[in-house]
């Protein structure tokens, strides 16, 4: 079964450093999502792409976070500079374009900022 690939699996960084996460969605999935999940809470959408275009980044802290999906396939999420409060699981998901298509999640990147 096709999977959403994410790397790295774990990342430890010091505050004020830059960090980047990578995601490769399931082939053919036009919609790609980045979610952040703080321990004990539900996932919160950071950014949603339709092909290479951003369709929702209303909850992305744009002063420090950036995301791109240049060719409409894989995507990178960057944080610069990282803050202690950024420690969380960063989940990438993808779906077909159809309205009722469910999201398929990758294994996530566990970020710890020290």
Partner 1 sequence: QKEVEQNSGPLSVPEGAIASLNCTYSDRVSQSFFWYRQYSGKSPELIMSIYSNGDKEDGRFTAQLNKASQYVSLLIRDSQPSDSATYLCAVKVRSGSRLTFGEGTQLTVNP
Taking contact as CB under 8 A, which single stretch among the options 14-22, 63-71, 74-82, 96-104 is the one that binds partner 1? 96-104
Is residue 103 a contact point for partner 1 (CB under 8 A)?
yes
Q: Least Å distance between CB 65 and partner 1?
A: 16
- Judged by beta carbon, residue 48 or residue 75, the one nearer partner 1 is 48
Side-chain-facing half-sphere of 76: CA atoms under 13 Å: 8
As beta bridge partners, residue 90 has 36, 109
Torsion of CA 5, 54, 71, 28, to 10 degrees: 50
**Which residues have a Cβ under 8 Å from the Cβ of 62 and sit 6 or more positions away?**
none
Q: Least Å distance between CB 68 and partner 1?
A: 19
Which of 25, 104, 111, 113 binds partner 1 (CB under 8 A)? It is 104
Is residue 91 a contact point for partner 1 (CB under 8 A)?
yes
Q: Is 25 exposed, middle or buried (0-12, 13-18, 19+ CB in 10 A)?
A: buried
- Judged by beta carbon, residue 31 or residue 82, the one nearer partner 1 is 31
Is residue 94 a contact point for partner 1 (CB under 8 A)?
no
Site residues (CB under 8 A) for partner 1, limited to 43-82: 43-45, 48, 50, 55-56
Residues 74, 101: Cα–Cα separation, whole Å = 19
């Amino acid at each position: 079964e096709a999977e959403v690939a994410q790397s790295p699996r774990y990342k430890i960084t010091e505050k004020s450093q830059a960090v980047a996460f990578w995601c490769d969605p399931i082939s053919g999935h036009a919609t790609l999502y980045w979610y952040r999940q703080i321990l004990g809470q539900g996932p919160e959408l950071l950014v949603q792409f339709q092909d290479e275009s951003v369709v929702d980044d209303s909850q992305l802290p744009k002063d420090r976070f950036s995301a791109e999906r240049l060719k409409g396939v894989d995507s990178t999420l960057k944080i610069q500079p990282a803050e202690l409060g950024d420690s969380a699981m960063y989940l990438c998901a993808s779906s077909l374009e159809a309205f009722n298509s469910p999201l398929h999640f990758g294994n996530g990147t566990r970020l710890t900022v020290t």
